[in-house]
């Protein structure tokens, strides 16, 4: 199986994932033998069912036919087989049609699916996270109607936030919800950038939508609604496809502009608290961005590694050419890719475990502590994995040279697919501002402090620990400097992206050290350790550069006036 080395690495990461004992203590199903079996099955499903479809999705894409979106040939059949396998409900309770397994295992399986086809995988996340939201916040009868069908794949879901004049600035949403003469909610407005906003893969689609239900401005006037596209038998509910976007990549995932004209809607949660209610779904969708980026990066890296071993070029002129994997610069590129992939993988799994514990822990104080840690790690995982996918795909193309720029090899598609990952679910800049304003200032660095305690506790008397220790010290000092700059917000904001990078480097360094100390000495462990050691060897120099940028101040932005004239 081509995915075998990927499966092996995931299983080893699961064995050494942080917080497993904490998950056991709160009653989570932590059976590593079962987990290994599930991951192996996910690898086979991804490689045999989904991966062969991906080139078709990219080449054919989706189109609008008679007002509805028509997907590529073979897409519906693959979706049905995938859903019938029970893959949509891994973390949901068995009583609702799920498997009751921890989020960390969900993340491992998602990574393999995204390696096979991120366009295909895009439909799986909103349905699962919508089901979790309904269990958490919806009236019982609404949850009973929708959750089993979402988990079976019979029905689908979207998250509808963005509008033409309201993207990340959700307080400017203009879509309105009003009650009709029968005291039913009706929604009217336009929504854009809706992944799988319409398709022919499920019988019904539920749009989880923020709309303005009161007179208050900003986010306080927003409520959350479930807006079905129809009744499941063909009758429409005032939901119209305006168009699907022509995109750089992810051609098999239709990105829609939707119109809502008096569409019937059901209120979820309290009126006026839509953003707070949607928070549960948004956290888990953001978490899924980790395995999305890592899965794509893993596939690109494996292609580059194989090519470097097979492609022969250079060496002594009087001898046969050597494989390009023998050249120092190619070795550097391959080790950097491997180091970033392995550490990002471990960090995403650790974040999933922390978020799971935030919902499972026995008392409110423990849940708050785990949530604080998860919310510190989430922007790092989301943005780091998003940029990892594009960077590794670009690096793989560099290893392949001119061949990588052609469609004969899959890395050019992965480069196109991955570019949007750092844009949706909150851009890189939004994640950086969130880290600065919310996590460092508003929460006074509580999540960062918890992380530092965990990471410092891993240190030993060896060289890899020294490399990480210096990075942790520098992160702590830089965080203190930025905290002191709270009265000069522009100065701090100009360095927010660099600070986010520092957090990611240090967090991945923590994972790298855990790999060095715990991955084992067999073939799988040796590969992981080699990648982790390279990551730690470069960490001091790389994080030092970002520390300088984080506190450089806003004076360097003064030249923007000249550009804007």
Helix (H) or strand (E) holding 267: strand 255-268
**508 Cβ partners below 8 Å, 6+ apart?**
340, 343, 344, 346, 347, 384, 535
Q: Which CATH architecture has domain 4-151?
A: Orthogonal Bundle (1.10)
Q: Which one of the listed residues 111, 132, 425, 493 is annotated catalytic?
A: 425
Which ranges of the chain have pLDDT less than 70? none
β-pair partners for 264: 186
pTM of the model: 0.94
Q: By the 8 A CB rule, do 265 and 274 touch?
A: no
Looking only at the bridges linking them, the beta strands covering 204-212 and 155-160 are: parallel
- Residues 134, 143 contacting (CB under 8 angstroms): yes
Domain layout of the chain by residue ranges: 4-151, 156-272, 428-555
Q: What confidence score (pLDDT) does residue 314 get?
A: 85
Question: Are the C-beta atoms of residues 451 and 377 closer than 8 Å to each other?
Answer: yes
Q: List phi, psi (to 5°) of 405.
A: -85, -5
Over its C-alpha atoms, the chain yields an Rg (Å, rounded) of 24
For residue 317, what pLDDT is reported?
Answer: 86
Q: Is 271 a catalytic residue?
A: no
SS3 content of the chain, % helix, strand, coil (to 5): 65, 10, 25
Question: 97: helix, coil or strand?
Answer: coil
CA distances from 6 to 47, 108, 352, 520 (A): 11, 10, 19, 16
What angle in degrees, to the nearest 10, is found between the helix axes of 274-310 and 328-360? 150
Phi-psi region of 478 (alpha: psi -120 to 50; beta: other; left: phi over 0): alpha
pLDDT of residue 93: 84
* The pLDDT of residue 319: 85
Q: Return the pLDDT at 203.
A: 94
DSSP secondary structure, 132-170, as one string: HHHHHHS-HHHHHHHHHHHHHTSEEEEEE--BTTBSS-G
Which CATH number is associated with domain 156-272?
2.40.110.20
- Decide: helix, strand or coil at residue 485: coil
314: left (phi over 0), alpha (psi -120 to 50) or beta: left
């Amino acid at each position: 199986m081509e995915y075998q080395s990927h499966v092996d690495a995931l299983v080893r990461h699961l064995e050494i994932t942080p917080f497993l004992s904490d998950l056991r203590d709160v009653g989570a199903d932590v059976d590593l033998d079962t987990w290994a079996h599930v991951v192996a099955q996910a690898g086979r499903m991804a490689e045999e069912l989904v991966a062969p479809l991906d080139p078709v999705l990219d080449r054919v894409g989706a189109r609008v036919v008679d007002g509805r979106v028509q997907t590529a040939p073979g897409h519906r059949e693959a979706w049905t087989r995938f859903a019938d396998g029970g893959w949509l409900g891994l973390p949901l309770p068995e009583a609702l049609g799920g498997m009751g397994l921890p989020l960390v295992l969900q993340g491992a399986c998602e990574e393999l699916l995204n390696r096979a086809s991120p366009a295909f995988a895009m439909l799986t996340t909103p349905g699962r996270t919508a089901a979790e939201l309904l269990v958490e916040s919806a009236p019982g009868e609404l949850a009973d109607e929708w959750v089993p069908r979402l988990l079976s794949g019979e029905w689908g879901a979207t998250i509808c936030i963005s509008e033409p004049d309201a993207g990340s600035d959700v307080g400017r949403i203009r879509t309105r919800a009003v009650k009709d003469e029968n005291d039913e909610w009706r929604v009217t407005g336009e929504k854009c950038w809706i992944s799988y906003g319409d398709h022919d893969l499920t019988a019904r689609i539920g749009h989880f939508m923020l709309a303005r239900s009161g007179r208050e401005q900003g986010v306080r006037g927003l409520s959350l609604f479930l807006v079905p596209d129809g009744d499941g038998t063909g009758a429409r509910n005032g939901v119209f496809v305006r168009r699907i976007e022509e995109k750089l990549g992810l051609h098999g995932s239709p990105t829609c502009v939707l119109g809502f004209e008096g569409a019937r809607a059901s209120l979820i949660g309290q009126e006026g608290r839509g953003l707070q209610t949607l928070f549960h779904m948004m956290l888990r969708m953001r978490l899924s961005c980790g395995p999305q980026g890592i899965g794509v990066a893993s596939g690109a890296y494996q292609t580059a590694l194989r090519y470097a071993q097979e492609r022969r070029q250079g060496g002594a002129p009087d001898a046969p050419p050597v494989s390009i994997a023998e050249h120092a610069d190619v070795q550097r590129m391959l080790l950097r890719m491997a180091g970033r992939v392995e550490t990002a993988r471990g960090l995403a799994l650790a974040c999933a475990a922390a978020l799971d514990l935030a919902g499972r822990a026995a008392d409110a104080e423990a849940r708050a502590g785990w949530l604080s840690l998860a919310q510190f790690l989430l922007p790092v995982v989301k943005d780091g994995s998003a940029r990892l996918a594009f960077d590794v795909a670009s690096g793989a193309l560099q290893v392949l040279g001119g061949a990588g720029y052609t469609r004969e090899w899959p890395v050019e598609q992965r480069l196109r697919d991955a570019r949007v990952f750092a844009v949706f679910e909150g851009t890189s800049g939004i994640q950086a501002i969130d880290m600065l304003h919310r996590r460092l200032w508003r929460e006074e660095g509580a999540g960062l402090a918890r992380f530092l305690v965990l990471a410092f506790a891993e240190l030993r008397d060896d060289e890899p620990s020294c490399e990480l220790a210096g990075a942790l010290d520098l992160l702590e000092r830089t965080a203190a400097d930025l905290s002191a700059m709270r009265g000069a917000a522009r100065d701090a904001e100009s360095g927010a992206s660099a600070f986010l990078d520092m957090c990611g480097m240090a967090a991945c360094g923590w994972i790298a050290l855990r790999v060095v100390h715990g991955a084992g000495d067999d073939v799988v462990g040796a590969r992981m350790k080699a990648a982790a050691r390279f990551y730690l060897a470069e960490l001091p120099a790389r994080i030092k550069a970002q520390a300088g940028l984080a506190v450089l101040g806003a004076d360097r932005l003064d030249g923007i006036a000249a550009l804007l004239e």
